[in-house]
Structure 1
Amino acid sequence: MKKRSFALPTALVCAITLGGCGVLPGGSQKTAVDIWLMQDSVSDEFLERFTSAYEKEHPSVELNVTFQEWTGIGKKVMAALESDDAPEVIEVGNTQVAQYAQSDALRDLTLEAVRDLGSEEWLPGLAEPGSINGSQYGIPWYAANRVVIYNKDLFAAAGITEPPKNRDEWLEISEKLDGNGVQGIYLSGQDWYTLAGFVWDEGGQLAVEKGGDWEGALHTKAALRGMAFYKELQSHGDGPKGADEVTPPQANVFAKGDVAQIIAVPSAVPAIEKTNPALKGKLGFFPVPGKTAEAPGAVFIGGSDLIVPENARERSAGVDVVKALASEKWQTELALTMNYVPNKTTLAGVIEGNEGTAAMAVGAAQGRATPNSPQWAAVEADNPIKPYMTAVLQGQDAVGEARAASGRITAALRP
């Protein structure tokens, strides 16, 4: 494996080697497959194992991996898609695929998805954002989603012996835990990803597509019920009504030891334990509860898809790499190495020994993604959902505030 930057355009490399595109410098006849992965998405150890195994099975191929930063990645990917020197494989956020597919610069991977990758078993929250107008452009790679992280000692002190099975029980134990210097739950007022799950549980949406146009939908009765539940849950703690979960970082608040629950990805635990080593071994996990005990609550599912640019010089070789990375063998390896949720519901069993990841996998089965509009990034750039939530939590009229927020979402989603 070679980690390199893309300092030379492919045309110049081809001219230097005099061997044509796909021929490596030095006269090698191997096919170079350039891959962009996001910083910290995989460990060096996983990447070394995958690369070594893949190149052994494909001796005519050499994989060249470059790690990219999330900051500014959208513009960088768009520039690559518009160039004549795109990498063969790019890791992208699952909710970014629609934006890139709109450019007509992605390889249609529908055939591979159905024939080779068992797409009928994929997590919907990863698969649906990669599907545009019936064609699959993004291949699900890995998932991560929020769970409830709880302090076992505080639960025991309150006489709570097991996690709640549904939302009503969750409210009851959160209220019971709240008091005597303990916050039942720390939930910031603008944690809109968590709100989205409650809205979906009620049958609502953040936005809906009508006749080819997208419209905000926070003002519907179902979405308002989701906000009402959020308000009740948030009241069982002292989370700030006018800030999100990173202001201040909720992991730091939880690490103080007087918060019973937070809603976060399990990867927050190492940071919590580093801040307060006394909590090591005292933290537990359970999926966000649903309305009934039959199914967990809906959650926003984040993660990554893999795309192949249409203008990549070695598209076929890139597709083969994507099929390998998304295969059951390497999905299992990735899940065990990185504590991710695999891309298939049928692979959830491979991480059963890891309490946090197993809780994520249960919730991931009910995972959803943000509206599959190419303009959704514009909504998040100046997110009207956050001030809407704050206004409702501060006692403003929920219906009026929701209609105003829906209007702003609609405006942002207009091409």
Structure 2
Amino acid sequence: MKVRFIAAAGALAAATALTACGGSSSGSDAAGGPEKLTVWIMKDSVSDAYLARFKKDFEQQHKDTALDIQIQEWDGIGEKVTAALASKDAPDVIEVGNTQVAQYAASGGVTDLGGKVGELKGEDWLPGLAEPGKVDGKQYGIPWYAANRVVIYNKDLFTKAGITGPPKTRDEWLQITGKLNKGTRQGIYLPGQNWYTLAGFIWEDGGELAEESGGTWKGTLDSPEALSGMDFYRSLQALGKGPKDSDEAKPPQADVFAKGDVAQIISVPGGAKIVEQANPALAGKLGFFPIPGRTAGKPGATFTGGSDLIVPAASAHQDAAYQVVKALAGEKWQTDLARTMSYVPNRTSLAKVIENNEGTAAMAAAAAQGRATPNSPQWAAVEASNPIKQYMTAVLTGSDPKKAAKDASESIGKTLNS
């Protein structure tokens, strides 16, 4: 599902949305007038000012097109998009969560843009955005923006512990976190059910959450590689006092970190703004680094969330809709988006445009190793029951890791094959 990153919270404009939510309004306002294209953008994805700049520029460049940008609510969006794709009056361009593309593509109502990948510089796309958009060899989703987790750390606590800089490898990360974990101070606050973080550790060790072969899915948390990733998670989680039976929202980890006695949390960079709001004394004292990998010089694998753009097959303006996608995914508006919203651009070569922002630069470095959840229309159902969380708690509370992993893998496979 789409990850609603708080990285953009401080950047969002408070102005009223450009238009109210609504259905498609494709067509022209008057005979001989410009062609009206309906574009659905999710609430809080980007600022109104950004959309206003894009609309003005696009319409100047395409005199025969008028954009009707409609802001959509996240609640209930899955059903709304599915209904739109099945209708004869669909919007022309829709923003969707990167891991939702497979679900929508399964309906048969999304246009394959595979023939445009070269023109869109697809060889430069972030893997974590490009891969979920490609289903059965067809490119339905075009990467728009990305965001992923990094480590936010308290610089004062690092200094007091005699640590001069962020770790370069996972082994070094464990060492310095152990050094930071002293007395009432927590080396890291890592809740037991932060499964997106676990996914990165599993991928880094060569494992997968699930794999498909011959049309059949199999959960793979019980592979040696995936078990190794869980073992690293267990070692890291033990160097703090995070609960073993809840995730980062219960209690909100930003509130825990804001108390000042936690050295590190794993979060999107925008989490630092929430921490500083809770404790202004920490303003300017927080640093960022990518989740370390097994070897120096290469960040660890991490889950990449974000959005793709799709064109419904029912759109009556396929060529014009593609021009909207091409512009939003192109260098000019990717650069504007990254600087406005502190997102990671869809291309690895554009990471330089945010290098002056410490948090976003760390996020961009990690995004190069970004991955997405298994590309199945049924993955949303896995997340709904989430046997991965139950598996993590079982291991952290002393259950046999192999048995717990096997049970969770069987549950994942059953759901994906349902």
TM-score, with length taken from structure 2: 0.94
Q: Which runs of 5+ in 1 are unaligned?
A: 11-20
Find the counterpart in structure 2 of residue 370 from structure 1: 373
Find the counterpart in structure 1 of residue 289 from structure 2: 286
Find the counterpart in structure 1 of residue 6 from structure 2: none
SS at match of 1:34: strand
Indicate conservation of the 8 Å contact 2:18/2:71, yes or no. Answer: no
Q: Distance in 2 between matches of 1:57 and 1:295?
A: 41
Q: Distance in 2 between matches of 1:385 and 1:2?
A: 40
The one of 349, 357, 362 aligned to 2:360? 357
SS at match of 2:44: coil
Find the counterpart in structure 1 of residue 78 from structure 2: 74
Indicate conservation of the 8 Å contact 2:150/2:290, yes or no. Answer: yes
Give the fraction of aligned pairs with identical amino acids, expressed as a percent.
Answer: 61
SS at match of 1:311: coil
Instruction: For 2:406, give the aligned amino acid.
Output: R
Q: Distance in 2 between matches of 1:3 and 1:179?
A: 53
Question: 1:43-99 deviations in whole A, cap 9, x for unaligned?
Answer: 111111111111111121111111112222111110110111111000000000000
Cα distance, 1:294 vs. partner? Answer: 3.0
Find the counterpart in structure 1 of residue 226 from structure 2: 223
Indicate conservation of the 8 Å contact 1:51/1:63, yes or no. Answer: yes
The one of 277, 280, 285 aligned to 1:277? 280
Instruction: For 2:289, give the aligned amino acid.
Output: F
Q: Does 309-318 or 359-368 show the bigger shift?
A: 309-318
Q: Which runs of 5+ in 2 are unaligned?
A: 1-16
Find the counterpart in structure 2 of residue 62 from structure 1: 66
Find the counterpart in structure 2 of residue 3 from structure 1: 19
Find the counterpart in structure 1 of residue 199 from structure 2: 196
Does residue 152 of structure 2 align to residue 149 of structure 1? Answer: yes
Find the counterpart in structure 2 of residue 94 from structure 1: 98
Q: Distance in 2 between matches of 1:125 and 1:6?
A: 30
Q: Distance in 1 between matches of 2:245 and 2:18?
A: 46
Count of residue pairs the alignment pairs up: 402
The one of 245, 252, 256 aligned to 2:259? 256
Find the counterpart in structure 2 of residue 113 from structure 1: 117
The one of 29, 32, 39 aligned to 1:35? 39
Does residue 236 of structure 2 align to residue 241 of structure 1? Answer: no
Q: Distance in 1 between matches of 2:223 and 2:21?
A: 48
Find the counterpart in structure 1 of residue 4 from structure 2: none
Return closer, same or farther for 1:234/1:59 CA change in 2, 3 Å cut-off.
Answer: same
Indicate conservation of the 8 Å contact 1:46/1:337, yes or no. Answer: yes
Does residue 180 of structure 2 align to residue 164 of structure 1? Answer: no
The one of 132, 139, 152 aligned to 1:136? 139
Does residue 57 of structure 2 align to residue 53 of structure 1? Answer: yes
Cα distance, 1:27 vs. partner? Answer: 5.0
Instruction: For 1:295, give the aligned amino acid.
Output: K
Find the counterpart in structure 2 of residue 398 from structure 1: 401
1:379-394 → structure 2 map (5 Å cutoff)? 379-394=382-397
Find the counterpart in structure 2 of residue 23 from structure 1: 28
The one of 331, 334, 355 aligned to 2:334? 331
Cα distance, 1:111 vs. partner? Answer: 1.3
Cα distance, 1:2 vs. partner? Answer: 5.2
Instruction: For 2:102, give the aligned amino acid.
Output: A
Structure 1 residue runs of 4+, over 2 Å off?
4-7
Cα distance, 1:180 vs. partner? Answer: 2.1
Indicate conservation of the 8 Å contact 1:2/1:63, yes or no. Answer: no
SS at match of 1:37: strand
SS at match of 1:3: coil
Instruction: For 1:96, give the aligned amino acid.
Output: Q
The one of 83, 97, 109 aligned to 2:87? 83
Q: Distance in 1 between matches of 2:179 and 2:21?
A: 55
Find the counterpart in structure 2 of residue 15 from structure 1: none
